[in-house]
Structure 1
Amino acid sequence: MEVVITSGAQESAQFAADAIEQLLSRKPDAVLGLATGSTPLPTYDELVRRQQAGRISFARARGFTLDEYIGLPADHPQRYRNVIEQELVGRVDFAPGAVTGPDGLAEDLPAAAAAYERAIAEAGGVDLQILGIGTNGHIAFNEPASSLASRTRVQPLAPQTRSDNARFFDGDVEAVPRLCFTQGLGTIMEARHLVLIATGEGKAAAVRQLVEGPVSAMWPATIMQHHPHATVLLDEAAASQLEHVDYYRETYAAKPAWQGL
């Protein structure tokens, strides 16, 4: 796992966008894993700028979202299919239908989860997965005690997650759905490159566990310690509880530029 301490959300976004730009330059038909929530928004804004400037194109790329609320109406602004359309897909040159997510309105939820898992595999797997981290250590909606080998499935949301996400529902925690679809930890770990972004002091405890704690289902993101190519982009506040922060700075400063992220 590579830990990179940045000057803030915008520099983290530039690093993440650099990784995606380099991927698309060598593999225009790359498969991207797209997170929602507030953390990746600066990255998506940076990608839009680069696409509009002619530096990158998504015309041959595909994308899969990490998760989806179950039961929100099709036109609900917080339905993740709508969020990713508004924040990225509709602003760049993805082909129609190139980005998909789990069907939160499916009649047969287990069948829909299995179909989504198959769709990712049939696309050749995810080349680069953007991730955030929850205050309780979840990635995607894999809540504490999720199996480290889990696959795409229906997942009840933890009270902490619903409380954290109430800000997207006008502060009303009761408006936050109780069930979701999520890619499993085993599914996420099959992506070829994981890029996790964390900003703010509120994420510092989860980041400490992610980077320096033991691998545990109680802190699901810690499974990333077993990934062969995982990048963690942190601002100063998110990195504030790390014991070996100076080491991470020194090793990144000594890294050859040609290696990239």
Structure 2
Amino acid sequence: MKIFKTRDYYDMSRKAANIISAQIILKPDCVLGLATGSSPLGTYKQLVEWYKKEDLDFSKVSTVNLDEYRGLSPQNEQSYYYFMHKNLFSQVNIRENATFVPDGMNNDIEKACKDHEDIINRLGGIDLQLLGLGENGHIGFNEPADEFIKDTHCVQLSRSTIEANSRFFEDIKDVPTQAITMGIRTIMRADKILIIVNGSKKAKIVKEAFWGPVTPKVPASILQIHKDVTLVADEAALSQAPI
């Protein structure tokens, strides 16, 4: 695992954007696995800035998102489809038909999960997967469990995850309780993984995930055995790490 300690969120975002832009430059038709939430916002903003300066070209890039809430339409401002279009897709020259987010509105949830796996396979796999880290160690919406769930699946969100995401909703009762998420095996099949973490609230879980035992109780700990992982984290998030 490669570790980059950054000064703050801005520095973390810029470093992560550098890594993603290098992937695009080296392989213009790459497949990016993308994440949502507050952690990658600064990274996407930086990528958009470089695109507007004509330093980046997304015209051949394909993207596959990690997850989506179940029951939120693409037009809902809290859906991850909406998030991605607002913060990245609508601001760069990526092809609309080359961006894929799980279908949270499909009543046949098993088919929705299988379709997302099929899309990844059809694209030839993910070249670089971007991840954030939940305070309970989740990656995507893979919550602490007794075993690692392998493929894209529907998950019941933990109370801590619902509470963490409630800041994006008017009321915690509005937060969906289920989501579709790539499974651990799906994530681990990516050629490269980039995980970004910031803030002192994440310091304890960073230590557990990357310097503790590999266990499904801390889903992100599985990344310790991936062949090419880069952790970009600010000083606060790394404050308890033994480095």
Q: Where on the TM-score scale, by shorter chain, does this alignment land: which range?
A: over 0.9
Residue identity opposite 1:198 in structure 2: V
CA RMSD in angstroms, aligned pairs only = 1.0
Secondary structure of 2:140 counterpart: coil
User: 1:210-225 counterparts in 2 under 5 A?
Assistant: 210-225=209-224
**Between the two proteins, what is the percent identity of the paired residues?**
39
Which of structure 1's runs of 4+ aligned residues deviate more than 2 A? 146-149
Query: How far 1:63 sits from its partner (Å)?
Result: 0.2
Q: State how far apart, in whole Å, the 2-side matches of 1:101 and 1:29 are.
A: 18
Partners of 2:142 and 2:149 within 8 A in 1: no
Query: How far 1:74 sits from its partner (Å)?
Result: 3.5
Query: How far 1:149 sits from its partner (Å)?
Result: 5.0
Residue identity opposite 2:161 in structure 1: T
Using structure 2 for the length normalisation, give the TM-score: 0.97
Using structure 1 for the length normalisation, give the TM-score: 0.91
Partners of 1:142 and 1:220 within 8 A in 2: yes
Residue identity opposite 2:90 in structure 1: G
Whether 1:196 aligns to 2:195 is yes
Residue identity opposite 1:23 in structure 2: Q
Question: Against the structure 1 CA distance between its residues 146 and 230, is the aligned structure 2 distance closer, same or farther, given a 3 Å change threshold?
Answer: farther
2:166 corresponds in structure 1 to 166
Secondary structure of 2:55 counterpart: coil
Q: State how far apart, in whole Å, the 2-side matches of 1:42 and 1:75 are.
A: 23
Q: State how far apart, in whole Å, the 1-side matches of 2:29 and 2:239 are.
A: 38
Question: Against the structure 1 CA distance between its residues 146 and 183, is the aligned structure 2 distance closer, same or farther, given a 3 Å change threshold?
Answer: farther
Gaps of 5+ in 2: none
Gaps of 5+ in 1: 246-261
1:50 corresponds in structure 2 to 50
Secondary structure of 1:24 counterpart: helix
Partners of 2:203 and 2:238 within 8 A in 1: yes
Q: State how far apart, in whole Å, the 1-side matches of 2:74 and 2:19 are.
A: 32
Residue identity opposite 2:26 in structure 1: R
2:186 corresponds in structure 1 to 187
Whether 1:241 aligns to 2:237 is no
Q: State how far apart, in whole Å, the 2-side matches of 1:117 and 1:203 are.
A: 30
Q: State how far apart, in whole Å, the 1-side matches of 2:205 and 2:42 are.
A: 21
Secondary structure of 2:37 counterpart: coil
1:232 corresponds in structure 2 to 231
User: 1:85-164 counterparts in 2 under 5 A?
Assistant: 85-145=85-145, 147-164=147-164
Deviations 1:196-221 (A, max 9, x none): 00001111111111111100000000
Count matched residues. Answer: 243
